[in-house]
Homo-oligomer: A and B are copies of this chain.
Amino acid sequence: MSSSDESPESMPTDYEIAQSVKKQPITDIVESFGLSPDDLEQYGEYKAKVKLDAIERILTERTADGKLILVTGMTPTPMGEGKTVTTVGLGQAFNQIGKDALIAIREPSLGPVFGVKGGAAGGGWSQVLPMEDINLHFTGDIHALTAAHNLISTMLDNHFTQGNDLNIDVNEVRWKRAIDMNDRVLRETVIGLGGKTGGRPREGGFILTAASELMAVLCLADSIEDIKERVSRIIVAYDEDGAPVTVDDIDATGSVAILLKEALKPNVVQTIEGTPAFVHGGPFANIAHGTNSLMADEVASHLSEYLITEAGFGSDLGAEKFMDIVCRFGDMEPDAVTLVASVRALKYHGLDMWPPELDALEDEDIGAVQRGFENLDKHVENLQKFGVPVVVAVNRFPGDTDREVETVIEHCESELGIDAAESNVFSDGGEGGIDLAEKLTSAAESESQFEPLYSVDASIKEKIETVATEIYGSDGVEYHGDAEADIQQLTELGLDDVPVCMSKTFHSLSDDPSLKGVPDDWTLEVKEVYPSAGAGFLVVLTGDVLTLPGLPGEPAAAEMDIDPDGTVSGLF
């Protein structure tokens, strides 16, 4: 997440910084890590995909002895606390202290790029390059996912048009259409109008491509065979008898897999300081698991001493899912976690602010920082429950005072007994993260006690309740609407022995976005439970989940421009 919105006017824009750097050919960047030019499919000089046979070779020939560092954050303000910047900066910092390191992050989605964020390739002196390509079409993965998602929709509705041999219940279609654009008017629609030639009328809607189960599938699959298998079992509807109808039932498995065959290959680019960076996949951290592809993590951990990988949102969302879903599926263990905090976010919790007023966070306010510690502390506690060492990174923003930053570090060291470091990777690149990298090196040396939070063999309710009470701090769980019936049906169908993927707001540790700090005396409200059978988990919906955002009053898109020579502006 970019922090450039906080940069003073004297600092060049992210794009200007990116343009000022002389990039090296991507083949040179990865060569010392054991990837030859023949292992790559180049997209221009600075972007490449790693071929699947190269990955197979690496996973066979080498061992995964790289240390895995996970980057997550406290409950953020809507502007984010700089997890991507920290991830990129940390990779560079490890290189600066003489360690081989790779980073792995998610691909930006055009929705937020044109909406609030304007870009998601890091920021300042900790960016991945070429940032303008990565923020736009990149190597086409998200476009491929959009097309593949909508091919399923098209095949499904064509099945109705051609006579509905499968007896699909028109009110039980569970597969929406997808678009990579923050286009709120597509959330709820009526389709199939205009008479017989327009197909069968029904309610339908769109989700952002990042929220598609196909995105989750792509980020968990490890081969073409695996992606086909996962795609085939995705449930798209139920028939008149209540039986699931899958992608395979509507004859779309092969064509969907064909559309995804290139997207499956991890992308590799470089950071501003020449650290290789895998940028691959970008699932939502609410209705999916929210981390870059497992395949990128796996290959990267076979190539380097350190892999720094990012999970979306806080310990309650991306990190919990990384440990309970991704590590379980991928047989991986994080060796250390860095929890990104900011003075701004601490004040936001300390001032118990909702809706957020970012301007009010600009002034020094040690009391507010201190009152915000409870949120930070809960995230630390959550991460420690998985048995992994935690180092707090205080991502410094221009308005932060020394006193504020020192207060946070002092608190972590003396109250929590854990390491903490100021991080200035936005303004100073890798050098700004050396202290943090050194502390993480030590932390990662300790014997890992990693363990997922729950066993998949527990009942669905037990798994939900474990996450709710242990991680979110709720008193318990209430089931509303059809949630009880969903759980019973899933159990009867034998779909209960998989992890749960909790869908919850990122604005609060609770399911109520307005509650800051560590909410107490509350009960998690579960509204629906449904299978992501292709991904291999159950999605548990709590509160309202926005799977298709809208544009704000002043969208980033409105400020973008391009000169006749191709120089762009407004991306950051």
Docked complex Cα distance between A192 and B571 (Å): 28
* Cβ contact within 8 Å between B553 and A162: yes
Q: Decide: A183 near B42, CB < 8 A? Known: A158-B550, A564-B223.
A: no
Known: A188-B198, A259-B136. A147 touches B110 (CB 8 A): yes
A179 touches B150 (CB 8 A): yes
Please determine whether B254 and A183 come into contact, CB atoms closer than 8 angstroms. no
* Contact across chains for B261 and A562 when beta carbons are under 8 A apart: yes
Decide yes or no: A188 and B193 within 8 Å by CB, A136-B258, A224-B564, A562-B224 being known contacts.
yes
What does DSSP make chain A's interface, helix, strand, loop or mixed? mixed
| Closest partner residue, chain B, to A254 (CB atom) | B561
Set of chain B residues within 8 Å of A223, measured between Cβ atoms = 564
Q: Which of A137-145, A287-295, A363-371, A484-492 contacts B (4 or more CB under 8 A)?
A: A137-145
Closest to A224 in B: B564
Measured in the bound complex, the distance between the Cα atoms of B555 and A185 in whole Å is: 30
Assess the A558–B184 pair: CB atoms within 8 A: no
Q: How far is the CA of A258 from the CA of B561 in the complex (A)?
A: 7
Interface residues of A in 36-59 (CB under 8 A from B): 41-44, 52
Name the interface residues of A459-503: CB closer than 8 Å to any CB of B.
Answer: none
Q: How far is the CB of A23 from chain B (nearest CB, A)?
A: 14
Within the complex, the shortest CB–CB distance from A198 to chain B, in Å, comes to 5
Q: A49: nearest residue on chain B (CB-CB)?
A: B44
Interface size class for chain A? 35 or more
B551 touching A251 by the CB < 8 A rule?
no
Contact, CB under 8 Å: B568 / A252: no
Q: Are B199 and A550 closer than 8 Å at their CB atoms? A: yes
Cβ contact within 8 Å between B181 and A154? yes
Docked Cα-Cα span, A147 to B200, in Å, equals: 26
In Å, the complex CA distance between A348 and B303 comes to 63
Alpha-carbon gap, A515 to B253, bound state (A): 40
A558's contact among B41, B183, B204, B255, by CB below 8 Å, is which?
B255
In whole angstroms, what is the CA distance A506 to B256 when docked?
Answer: 31
A33 to chain B, nearest CB (A): 21
Counting chain B CB atoms within 10 Å of each CB, the highest count among A191, A197, A564 belongs to A191
A383 neighbours in B (Cβ, 8 Å): none
Whole-angstrom distance between the Cβ of A237 and the nearest chain B Cβ = 14
Is A225 part of the binding interface, using a Cβ–Cβ cutoff of 8 Å? yes
**9 smallest beta-carbon distances between A and B, as pairs:** A188-B194, A254-B561, A143-B143, A185-B199, A255-B557, A251-B558, A185-B192, A188-B193, A255-B560
Q: A157-B184, A184-B192, A255-B558 are in contact. List 7 more A-B contacts (CB 8 A).
A: A52-B566, A137-B147, A137-B259, A150-B183, A155-B557, A188-B192, A258-B568
